[in-house]
């Protein structure tokens, strides 16, 4: 089998390879295995959008519905200049496993538009978002496929999309989009759900490994929604001592710890964590290799590879990003006893609360935030222990164990439906 080169691996090939390895361990039926290697359907769209200067710009977008054997598909929409169909396919596959591993009755999907929202006005982003729904809306619906926010999309964009969908249908169907503002049927507790779910997993990992997390040194790569809330909640709930954080421009390090409020205020004011007073500048690559107890990759995919995995010193790696570790790196980390909480378990808090949002929309009654937290905690704790137990039973690393738990659930649904 080819090892990774210095070129970033194709994320969909990584997702397929992870499935192939799990299928082998599980002795999965060959027809089920082949079915689960591919999306059931995908839609490619071309979007003409009027720009503020009066010109029309053509954008390209995608929606991939990977597998709906367990229920309607679910997954975010990303706006990114480097978006590719293979990234969207991989993320749709991981969403399938993510919904299955936390045992919610949904399948996996993902969407994306090739664009750079940082170079667009709010009006241009709104027109692009509405154009996307006009094209993709035909395959969306509460019983079909439910999008949510992802990279460079937010509750306001979800509100525009929900409104455009309502206009197309002639009535409100709030549950067709999640991650909406509270005033349009959003759920309490959705904003920090991804990080909160990861923090609950970290808490359980600390107990399982007998590691005291109070005061444990922590580095966080990525300071968007997941990374900032991981800093805040990690300190509040677990007492983590965050010594390093980074964003796309670079990182900062202070062995005495970084105060969440101060770093967040600095990022809001300057647009980056770099230049934070009293902290040393470090690169994103250096942050990954710091001598810390906990490492939280919360940025983009394929940052831990065969090239740098042997230099990673963290005992606990909580993957809030999607696909931050490549298959070759997984083996190296497992051999050196680093405990990885794999992405589609660790960051499943977001889709779990999105599912709660769908439930609340369906019966038009909304829960208190404390109830959302309680139910999220229950789901994440059960999922963590299902994976931890499978790892011990099969003698495999945690990502493989998470695949075994998730794939077996999807395979059961596929067989019961008579697809194979």
Q: How many residues would you count in the chain?
A: 420
DSSP string, 30-79: HHHHHHHTS-SEEEEEEEEEE-TTS-EEEEEEEEEEEE-TTSSEEEEEEE
Residue 90 in contact with residue 370, Cβ under 8 Å? no
Give Cα 35 distance to the centre of its chain. 23
Tokens of 43: 């839609």
- At residue 43, what are phi and psi to the nearest 5 degrees? -120, 130
Residue 320 in contact with residue 198, Cβ under 8 Å? yes
How far apart are the C-alpha atoms of 384 and 198, rounded to whole Å?
10
How far apart are the C-alpha atoms of 61 and 111, rounded to whole Å?
7
Any residues with CB less than 8 A from the CB of 186 and at least 6 apart, and which?
A: 155, 178, 179, 180, 357
Residue 158 in contact with residue 175, Cβ under 8 Å? no
Catalytic residue among 27, 50, 98, 110: 110
Q: Is 241 a catalytic residue?
A: no
Across the beta sheet with 316-318, the strand order is: 280-282, 250-253, 241-247, 217-221, 294-297, 316-318, 339-341
Catalytic residue IDs: 110
């Amino acid at each position: 089998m080819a090892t990774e080169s210095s070129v970033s691996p194709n994320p969909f090939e990584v997702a397929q390879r992870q499935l192939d390895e799990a299928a082998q361990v599980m002795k999965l039926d060959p027809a089920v295995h082949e079915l689960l290697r591919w999306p059931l359907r995908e839609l490619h769209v071309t979007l003409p959008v009027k720009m503020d200067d009066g010109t029309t710009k053509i954008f390209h977008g995608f929606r991939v519905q990977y597998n709906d054997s367990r229920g309607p598909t679910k997954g975010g929409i990303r706006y990114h200049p480097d978006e590719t169909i293979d990234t969207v396919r991989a993320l749709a596959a991981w969403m399938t496993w993510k919904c299955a591993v936390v045992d919610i009755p949904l399948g996996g999907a993902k969407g994306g538009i090739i664009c750079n929202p940082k170079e667009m006005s709010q009006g241009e982003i709104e027109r692009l978002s509405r154009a996307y729904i006009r094209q993709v809306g035909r395959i969306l619906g509460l019983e079909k496929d439910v999008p949510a926010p992802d990279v460079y999309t937010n509750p306001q964009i979800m509100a525009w999309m929900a409104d455009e969908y309502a206009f197309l249908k002639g009535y409100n169907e709030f549950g067709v989009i999640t991650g909406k503002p509270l005033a349009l049927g959003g759920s309490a507790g959705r904003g920090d759900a991804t990080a909160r779910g990861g923090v609950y997993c970290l808490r359980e990992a600390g107990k399982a490994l007998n590691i005291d997390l109070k005061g444990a040194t922590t580095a966080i790569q990525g300071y968007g929604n997941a990374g900032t809330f991981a800093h805040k909640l990690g300190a509040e709930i677990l007492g983590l001592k965050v010594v390093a954080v980074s964003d796309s421009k670079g990182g900062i390090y202070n062995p005495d710890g970084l105060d969440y409020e101060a770093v967040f205020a600095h990022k809001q004011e300057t647009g980056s964590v770099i230049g934070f007073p009293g902290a040393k500048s470090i690169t994103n690559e250096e942050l990954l290799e710091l001598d810390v107890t906990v490492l939280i990759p919360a940025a983009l995919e394929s940052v831990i590879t065969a090239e740098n995995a042997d230099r990673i010193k963290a005992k606990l790696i909580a993957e809030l990003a999607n696909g931050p570790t490549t298959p070759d790196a997984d083996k190296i980390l497992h051999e050196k006893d680093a405990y990885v909480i794999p992405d589609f378990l660790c960051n499943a808090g977001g889709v779990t609360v999105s599912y709660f949002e769908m439930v609340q929309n369906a019966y038009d009654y909304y829960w208190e935030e404390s109830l959302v937290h309680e139910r999220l905690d229950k789901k994440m704790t059960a999922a963590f222990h299902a994976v931890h137990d499978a790892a011990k039973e099969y003698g495999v690393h945690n990502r493989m164990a998470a695949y075994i738990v998730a794939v077996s659930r999807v395979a059961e649904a596929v067989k019961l439906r008579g697809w194979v």
